[in-house]
């Protein structure tokens, strides 16, 4: 793999399927938005924020997530949402990423003056503007920039997370809080289908947030709704819990892809006492995932930052995923929170994994093949073929690979 250089990786067409809008702002933009919106930051200098909030390494997932209080805090107007989306697409395109799926939880950005549709349309305006601008100046030898939008439901929430959640909890009164969580996810699912049917590029539905203690099955009704309406599904699973969480995402939420899937191969992470033969359970689960081509959206840097036992990528199960024939796509998760890019993530894989040139190629192209592309199947096939042809042309030129 020594032939693969950063220059080559920058030139090849890439995807980012697991990309959170609120974790991927430009740091100068965050500071500017905070100042104009009177949001207090621990520092108004980039160096200060990187030292205090957006670190290279975090003690745990909680510390990693703390930065979202500031990024979500500034994304409370349609203007800021549109700008953040535009800049994210612009930054992605600049490093050779040609397809992104931007995910966010609209309910985190609803104020007393906005609703879900307005939030989503603002993000779409920013992405569409960047797409049109990039493609207008596209070289004929390059492929077009495209995007899709994934709406995220939250496994749990509290009053402080947004005015919307505050209103929802107030209306619920003494109702079981779990029921309130499920009502919120079902409401978002219905809005996702409605906006998709109105022509917005809503390509998927996701479940994010605290995994342990808040199982995906509680949101089954929401996933049944999007499933019945032909919307694709991805679920954050196996990130902070065991293989049974991944199993539940697939069987109860019909997941087409899994976000992270980090503890897929961990017998120690299995909690269900009903699972007697843990080795067999993992073997059958991983084989099922491989056979069904349920793609794992792996975010290496993010995992290294939040999981203490992963000191380097050699400790990460991505090697096992590749060795077991799973479909794996490399993503950033949060470009700001993790100080990363797709190029950086692929460079890490190139440096630390024992994979062949062909397997590296698979990691790159899996994002195109397993995307929730917002077009017909025929359109997607044509787009994937463009990516394959461009990759192979560049590989022949830079690496001597045919």
Catalytic positions are 239
Could you tell me how far CA 95 lies from the centroid of its own chain? 18
Structure tokens at 396: 């022949």
For residue 69, the tally of other CB atoms under 10 A from its CB is: 12
Phi, psi of 233, rounded to the nearest 5 degrees: -130, 140
Cβ–Cβ under 8 Å, residues 387 and 5: no
Cβ–Cβ under 8 Å, residues 382 and 50: no
Of residues 79, 139, 138, the one with CA closest to residue 109:
79
Q: Which residues contact 78 (CB under 8 A, 6 or more apart)?
A: 114, 118, 119, 121, 122
Burial of 243 (0-12, 13-18, 19+ CB in 10 A): buried
What residues are paired with 329 via a beta bridge?
A: 297
Query: How many Å apart are CA 83 and CA 320, to the nearest integer?
Result: 39
Phi, psi of 239, rounded to the nearest 5 degrees: -90, -40
Of residues 41, 40, 39, 145, the one with CA closest to residue 92:
145
Total residues belonging to the chain: 402
Query: How many Å apart are CA 240 and CA 306, to the nearest integer?
Result: 10
Burial of 179 (0-12, 13-18, 19+ CB in 10 A): exposed
What residues are paired with 209 via a beta bridge?
A: none
């Amino acid at each position: 793999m020594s032939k693969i250089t950063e220059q080559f990786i920058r030139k090849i067409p890439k995807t980012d399927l697991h990309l959170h809008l609120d974790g991927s702002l430009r740091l100068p933009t965050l500071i500017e938005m905070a100042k104009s919106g009177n949001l207090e930051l621990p520092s108004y200098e980039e160096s200060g924020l990187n030292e205090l909030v957006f670190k290279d390494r975090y003690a745990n997932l909680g510390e990693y997530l703390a930065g979202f209080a500031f990024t979500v805090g500034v994304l409370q107007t349609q203007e800021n949402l549109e700008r953040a989306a535009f800049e994210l697409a612009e930054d992605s395109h600049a490093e050779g990423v040609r397809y992104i799926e931007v995910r966010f939880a609209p309910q985190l950005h609803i104020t007393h003056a906005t609703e879900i549709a307005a939030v989503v349309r603002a993000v779409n305006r920013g992405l569409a503007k960047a797409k049109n601008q990039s493609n207008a100046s596209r070289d004929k030898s390059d492929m077009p920039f495209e995007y899709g939008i994934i709406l995220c439901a939250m496994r749990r929430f509290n009053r402080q997370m947004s005015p919307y959640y505050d209103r929802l909890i107030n209306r619920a009164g003494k109702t079981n809080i779990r029921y309130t969580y499920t009502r919120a996810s079902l409401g978002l699912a219905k809005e996702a289908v409605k906006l998709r049917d109105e022509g917005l590029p809503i390509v998927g539905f996701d479940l994010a947030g605290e995994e342990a203690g808040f199982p995906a099955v509680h949101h089954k009704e929401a996933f049944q709704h999007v499933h019945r309406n032909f919307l694709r599904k991805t679920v954050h699973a196996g990130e902070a819990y065991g293989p049974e969480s991944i199993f539940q995402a697939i069987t109860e939420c019909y997941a087409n892809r899994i976000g992270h899937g980090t503890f897929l191969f961990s017998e120690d992470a299995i909690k269900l006492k009903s699972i007697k033969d843990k080795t067999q359970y993992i073997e059958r689960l991983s084989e099922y995932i491989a056979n069904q081509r349920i793609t794992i959206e792996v975010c290496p840097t993010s995992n290294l930052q939040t999981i203490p036992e992963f000191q380097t990528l050699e400790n990460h199960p991505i090697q096992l995923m590749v060795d077991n024939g799973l479909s794996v796509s490399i993503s950033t998760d949060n470009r700001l929170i993790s100080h990363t890019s797709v190029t950086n993530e692929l460079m890490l894989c190139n440096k630390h994994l024992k994979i062949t040139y062909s397997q590296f190629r698979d990691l790159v192209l899996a994002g195109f093949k397993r995307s929730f592309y917002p077009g017909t199947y025929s359109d997607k096939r044509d787009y994937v073929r463009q990516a394959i042809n461009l990759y192979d042309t560049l590989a022949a030129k830079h690496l001597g690979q045919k």
